[in-house]
Chain A
Amino acid sequence: KAGVTQTPRYLIKTRGQQVTLSCSPISGHRSVSWYQQTPGQGLQFLFEYFSETQRNKGNFPGRFSGRQFSNSRSEMNVSTLELGDSALYLCASSRTEKNIQYFGAGTRLSVL
Protein backbone atom coordinates (compact mmCIF):
# COMPACT_ATOMS: atom_id res chain seq x y z
CA LYS A 1 0.00 0.00 0.00
CA ALA A 2 1.41 3.39 -0.96
CA GLY A 3 2.25 5.79 1.84
CA VAL A 4 1.26 9.41 2.26
CA THR A 5 2.41 11.38 -0.77
CA GLN A 6 3.14 15.08 -0.69
CA THR A 7 3.85 17.25 -3.68
CA PRO A 8 5.93 19.12 -4.48
CA ARG A 9 8.86 18.13 -2.29
CA TYR A 10 10.55 21.51 -2.58
CA LEU A 11 9.29 24.99 -3.33
CA ILE A 12 10.95 28.35 -3.56
CA LYS A 13 8.73 31.41 -3.49
CA THR A 14 9.12 35.10 -2.86
CA ARG A 15 7.36 37.25 -0.32
CA GLY A 16 3.83 38.16 -1.23
CA GLN A 17 3.25 35.15 -3.46
CA GLN A 18 0.88 32.34 -2.66
CA VAL A 19 1.48 28.62 -2.67
CA THR A 20 -0.59 25.44 -2.77
CA LEU A 21 0.66 22.17 -1.33
CA SER A 22 -0.90 18.79 -1.99
CA CYS A 23 -1.29 15.66 0.10
CA SER A 24 -2.58 12.26 -1.00
CA PRO A 25 -3.39 10.07 2.01
CA ILE A 26 -2.95 6.35 2.32
CA SER A 27 -5.73 4.53 0.52
CA GLY A 28 -8.70 4.14 2.83
CA HIS A 29 -7.65 6.93 5.16
CA ARG A 30 -10.24 9.66 5.50
CA SER A 31 -8.52 12.00 7.92
CA VAL A 32 -5.74 14.34 6.87
CA SER A 33 -3.81 16.68 9.17
CA TRP A 34 -1.28 19.35 8.33
CA TYR A 35 1.68 20.49 10.41
CA GLN A 36 4.34 23.13 10.10
CA GLN A 37 7.79 22.07 11.26
CA THR A 38 10.51 24.59 12.00
CA PRO A 39 13.77 24.06 13.93
CA GLY A 40 12.74 26.26 16.81
CA GLN A 41 9.03 25.49 17.06
CA GLY A 42 8.81 21.78 16.48
CA LEU A 43 5.59 20.43 14.97
CA GLN A 44 2.82 23.02 14.95
CA PHE A 45 -0.69 21.84 14.13
CA LEU A 46 -2.34 23.67 11.23
CA PHE A 47 -5.63 21.90 10.58
CA GLU A 48 -7.31 18.54 10.28
CA TYR A 49 -9.89 17.38 7.76
CA PHE A 50 -12.23 14.45 7.80
CA SER A 51 -14.72 13.66 5.05
CA GLU A 52 -14.16 17.07 3.45
CA THR A 53 -14.91 18.90 6.70
CA GLN A 54 -12.41 20.81 8.79
CA ARG A 55 -12.54 19.22 12.24
CA ASN A 56 -9.80 21.09 14.03
CA LYS A 57 -7.78 24.22 13.42
CA GLY A 58 -4.52 25.43 14.91
CA ASN A 59 -3.47 28.95 15.83
CA PHE A 60 -2.34 30.18 12.46
CA PRO A 61 -3.46 33.36 10.64
CA GLY A 62 -6.16 33.28 8.02
CA ARG A 63 -3.49 33.29 5.29
CA PHE A 64 -3.27 29.56 5.91
CA SER A 65 -6.20 27.62 4.55
CA GLY A 66 -6.93 24.12 3.41
CA ARG A 67 -9.51 21.82 1.97
CA GLN A 68 -10.18 18.16 1.42
CA PHE A 69 -11.69 16.59 -1.64
CA SER A 70 -14.13 13.71 -1.93
CA ASN A 71 -11.26 11.29 -2.65
CA SER A 72 -9.65 12.39 0.68
CA ARG A 73 -6.80 14.20 -1.03
CA SER A 74 -6.07 17.49 0.66
CA GLU A 75 -4.52 20.79 -0.25
CA MET A 76 -3.29 23.63 1.86
CA ASN A 77 -2.80 27.15 0.63
CA VAL A 78 -0.73 29.97 2.02
CA SER A 79 -1.39 33.42 0.65
CA THR A 80 0.74 36.55 0.89
CA LEU A 81 3.82 34.58 1.88
CA GLU A 82 6.13 35.92 4.56
CA LEU A 83 9.75 35.02 5.29
CA GLY A 84 8.62 33.32 8.49
CA ASP A 85 6.53 30.85 6.50
CA SER A 86 9.70 29.06 5.44
CA ALA A 87 9.35 25.60 6.92
CA LEU A 88 8.78 21.94 6.28
CA TYR A 89 5.05 21.31 5.86
CA LEU A 90 4.03 17.81 6.84
CA CYS A 91 0.82 16.04 6.10
CA ALA A 92 -0.40 13.00 8.01
CA SER A 93 -3.31 10.67 7.36
CA SER A 94 -5.22 8.27 9.56
CA ARG A 95 -8.17 5.96 9.40
CA THR A 96 -11.33 7.02 11.14
CA GLU A 97 -11.20 4.29 13.70
CA LYS A 98 -7.47 4.43 14.41
CA ASN A 99 -5.47 7.15 16.10
CA ILE A 100 -2.18 6.46 14.40
CA GLN A 101 -1.12 9.21 12.04
CA TYR A 102 1.18 8.33 9.18
CA PHE A 103 3.29 11.18 7.91
CA GLY A 104 4.32 12.12 4.42
CA ALA A 105 7.86 13.18 3.57
CA GLY A 106 6.83 16.83 3.61
CA THR A 107 7.12 19.85 1.36
CA ARG A 108 10.01 22.16 2.14
CA LEU A 109 8.98 25.72 1.44
CA SER A 110 11.55 28.47 1.23
CA VAL A 111 10.34 32.05 1.06
CA LEU A 112 12.90 34.55 -0.21
Chain B
Amino acid sequence: GENVEQHPSTLSVQEGDSAVIKCTYSDSASNYFPWYKQELGKRPQLIIDIRSNVGEKKDQRIAVTLNKTAKHFSLHITETQPEDSAVYFCAARLMTTDSWGKLQFGAGTQVVVTP
Protein backbone atom coordinates (compact mmCIF):
# COMPACT_ATOMS: atom_id res chain seq x y z
CA GLY B 1 0.00 0.00 0.00
CA GLU B 2 0.85 3.66 -0.10
CA ASN B 3 3.39 5.02 2.37
CA VAL B 4 4.01 8.74 2.83
CA GLU B 5 7.06 10.16 4.56
CA GLN B 6 7.16 13.77 5.67
CA HIS B 7 10.09 15.96 6.68
CA PRO B 8 10.97 17.77 8.81
CA SER B 9 8.96 16.83 11.86
CA THR B 10 9.42 20.32 13.31
CA LEU B 11 10.28 23.58 11.60
CA SER B 12 11.00 26.91 13.25
CA VAL B 13 11.09 30.01 11.09
CA GLN B 14 11.31 33.73 11.66
CA GLU B 15 8.29 35.75 10.66
CA GLY B 16 8.64 36.82 7.06
CA ASP B 17 10.89 33.92 6.09
CA SER B 18 9.83 30.99 3.91
CA ALA B 19 8.97 27.48 5.09
CA VAL B 20 9.29 24.32 3.04
CA ILE B 21 7.91 20.91 3.94
CA LYS B 22 8.72 17.85 1.85
CA CYS B 23 6.90 14.57 1.38
CA THR B 24 7.70 11.42 -0.53
CA TYR B 25 5.26 8.71 -1.52
CA SER B 26 5.78 5.10 -2.48
CA ASP B 27 2.92 4.26 -4.86
CA SER B 28 3.65 5.71 -8.28
CA ALA B 29 -0.05 5.36 -9.16
CA SER B 30 -1.07 7.99 -6.58
CA ASN B 31 -2.49 11.00 -8.34
CA TYR B 32 -3.96 13.26 -5.70
CA PHE B 33 -1.94 15.13 -3.09
CA PRO B 34 -3.66 17.36 -0.53
CA TRP B 35 -2.15 19.37 2.29
CA TYR B 36 -3.96 19.92 5.56
CA LYS B 37 -3.31 22.44 8.31
CA GLN B 38 -4.25 21.66 11.88
CA GLU B 39 -4.08 24.44 14.43
CA LEU B 40 -3.81 23.53 18.08
CA GLY B 41 -7.04 22.00 19.33
CA LYS B 42 -8.77 22.32 15.98
CA ARG B 43 -9.69 20.00 13.15
CA PRO B 44 -7.50 19.52 10.07
CA GLN B 45 -8.46 21.78 7.19
CA LEU B 46 -7.47 21.50 3.55
CA ILE B 47 -5.25 24.39 2.48
CA ILE B 48 -4.20 23.31 -0.99
CA ASP B 49 -4.17 20.21 -3.17
CA ILE B 50 -2.60 19.15 -6.42
CA ARG B 51 -3.27 16.45 -8.95
CA SER B 52 -0.65 14.55 -10.87
CA ASN B 53 -1.43 16.27 -14.16
CA VAL B 54 0.14 19.54 -12.93
CA GLY B 55 3.56 20.28 -11.50
CA GLU B 56 2.80 23.32 -9.40
CA LYS B 57 -0.13 25.13 -7.87
CA LYS B 58 -0.23 28.42 -5.99
CA ASP B 59 -2.72 30.10 -3.72
CA GLN B 60 -1.54 33.44 -2.38
CA ARG B 61 1.36 32.71 -0.01
CA ILE B 62 1.25 28.94 -0.31
CA ALA B 63 2.32 26.75 -3.18
CA VAL B 64 2.74 23.06 -3.78
CA THR B 65 5.11 21.43 -6.23
CA LEU B 66 5.00 17.86 -7.47
CA ASN B 67 7.77 15.77 -8.96
CA LYS B 68 6.16 12.56 -10.23
CA THR B 69 9.41 11.04 -11.38
CA ALA B 70 10.99 11.35 -7.96
CA LYS B 71 7.67 10.72 -6.22
CA HIS B 72 7.87 13.71 -3.97
CA PHE B 73 5.89 16.86 -3.39
CA SER B 74 6.51 19.95 -1.30
CA LEU B 75 4.60 22.71 0.42
CA HIS B 76 6.05 26.20 0.27
CA ILE B 77 4.87 29.00 2.53
CA THR B 78 6.27 32.44 1.78
CA GLU B 79 6.29 35.52 4.02
CA THR B 80 5.33 33.45 7.02
CA GLN B 81 3.14 34.96 9.70
CA PRO B 82 2.46 33.90 13.30
CA GLU B 83 -0.94 32.54 12.25
CA ASP B 84 0.86 30.04 10.02
CA SER B 85 1.97 28.24 13.18
CA ALA B 86 0.29 24.83 13.09
CA VAL B 87 0.85 21.19 12.21
CA TYR B 88 0.84 20.55 8.48
CA PHE B 89 0.03 17.15 7.02
CA CYS B 90 0.65 15.96 3.51
CA ALA B 91 -1.29 13.07 2.03
CA ALA B 92 -1.45 10.94 -1.09
CA ARG B 93 -4.20 8.98 -2.75
CA LEU B 94 -5.09 7.16 -5.95
CA MET B 95 -8.27 8.47 -7.48
CA THR B 96 -9.99 7.15 -10.58
CA THR B 97 -13.42 7.70 -12.01
CA ASP B 98 -14.78 4.51 -10.48
CA SER B 99 -12.67 3.90 -7.41
CA TRP B 100 -10.26 5.41 -4.99
CA GLY B 101 -7.59 4.23 -2.62
CA LYS B 102 -7.29 5.26 0.98
CA LEU B 103 -5.93 8.70 1.83
CA GLN B 104 -2.54 8.09 3.40
CA PHE B 105 -1.16 10.88 5.58
CA GLY B 106 2.37 11.83 6.46
CA ALA B 107 3.33 12.09 10.13
CA GLY B 108 2.99 15.86 10.19
CA THR B 109 5.26 18.89 10.53
CA GLN B 110 4.99 21.24 13.47
CA VAL B 111 5.66 24.73 12.12
CA VAL B 112 6.45 27.49 14.59
CA VAL B 113 6.68 31.04 13.31
CA THR B 114 8.43 33.35 15.74
CA PRO B 115 7.83 37.13 15.55
Contact = CB atoms under 8 A, between A and B. Distances in A.
Interface of A: 33, 35, 41-45, 48, 55-58, 90, 99-106
Contacts, number: 50
Interface residues of B, number: 22
Contacts of A56: 100-102
Contacts of B46: 100-102
Give the interface SS of chain A, mostly helix, strand, loop or mixed: strand
Contacts of B34: 99-101
Contacts of B106: 42
Contacts of A57: 102
A97 to B, nearest CB: 10
Nearest to B2: A45
Contact of A45 (B95, B99, B105, B108): B105
Contacts of B104: 45
B100 A55 contact: yes
Contacts of A90: 43-44
A42 B102 contact: no
B102 A43 contact: no
Interface string B61-93: 000000000000000000000000000010001
Given A48-B102, A58-B102, A99-B34, A42 B89 contact: yes
